[in-house]
Chains A and B, each alone.
Chain A
């Protein structure tokens, strides 16, 4: 009985902490403006939509990985999958949740675009270093 109560409460808290933690990762990147180049490549002009995420992630995988952002990109990928799951299950019956998941998916796509921007400049720095050497 006690273990059951603890399990339910912990699982609910885990979900809440996971959402808040992913949002804190996203919030740190939301202030960063995208360069014109990344806007062109990703097709994101001002607001990103959830449908952009897959495409931006594919572009992201084409760039050399930066060790610093690997974990945060994976965490946001997991968060995006969770949002997709919510969208296709619970949100079908609750319209306000549909809007919320769509807005969150858009934030995830924007986060991925910011990560892409960082990877592009990282690749350029590496190339410049190799040219100098």
Chain B
């Protein structure tokens, strides 16, 4: 059952998600970064719906469990769409929008297929041992989430590499992509760590994940509010290895 701390962070996260959309509208960037804003709006809606279901059915109810994991999956797909929106912003001057959209569809199908294969493989392994209890299902969800976040991380990494190569100078776009990279890497690393430490007692986990969830809306709200659309910087200065 979530404690007062988790409720506070949950509320803060929802507030930050709303603030991303508000800042974006206030700065006239809503349509320019439509996929990002739609994702934030959806995340906010999901948070409210989760809270409603939690109040109605309870934390340990199957209704809450199913809604939590299905909505998480849909949000991850939404985040891929937001990432594709950033890809098309980076490649828009090259007229590669059509290819990016095609790539996005293929990627989404590929990721879905990959996740399905993992789930099927694990399910058959588990069913072979006639064990499919809640702990096994939890492990399955952990593994699938870890892989989905990892694919997102790889894609963001590729986009960041392309931005450095193309000498992208738009500060706001750079910050949006870097914040997304941070978010994906934090989640992929923490899910992988949790997967590695299955069975070990972990007291940090219930605090770490909700706080990490606030990172992305916080950084995006900052980018929309503080960084003007026409702000520019030299991208080579941002690379860890000097170019």
Contacts and interface: CB of A to CB of B under 8 A. Distances in A.
A20 B240 contact: yes
Interface string B146-162: 11001001000100100
- Main secondary structure, interface of B, reads helix
Contact of A10 (B150, B233, B239): B150
A90 B63 CA distance: 50
Interface in A9-26: 9-11, 13-14, 16-21, 23-25
A11 B189 contact: yes
Contact of A24 (B153, B157, B171, B185): B171
Interface string B163-203: 00000000100110011011001101100110110000000
Interface in B229-243: 231, 233-234, 237-240
A17 B178 contact: yes
A116 B109 CA distance: 49
A89 interface: no
A36 B238 CA distance: 29
Contacts of A72: 222, 226
Counting contact residues on chain B (CB < 8 A from A), the size range is 35 or more
A73 to B, nearest CB: 11
Interface residues of A, number: 23
Nearest to A5: B192
A16 to B, nearest CB: 5
A68 B225 contact: yes
A24 B238 contact: yes
Contact of A14 (B150, B186, B233, B234): B186
A17 to B, nearest CB: 4
Contacts of B193: 3, 7
A95 interface: no
A71 B222 CA distance: 8
B227 interface: yes
Nearest to A31: B233
A24 B195 contact: no
A20 B231 CA distance: 17
B188 A16 contact: no
B219 interface: yes
Nearest to A23: B238
B218 interface: yes
B218 A27 contact: no
Given A23-B237, A28-B227, A6 B192 contact: yes
Interface string A46-66: 000000000000000000000
Q: Which 5 A-B pairs have the closest CB atoms?
A: A10-B189, A14-B185, A7-B192, A17-B181, A10-B188
5 contacts: A3-B143, A3-B195, A21-B179, A28-B231, A28-B233
Given A13-B185, A14-B182, A16-B240, 9 more contacts: A3-B193, A4-B192, A6-B147, A6-B192, A10-B189, A20-B178, A21-B179, A24-B175, A71-B222
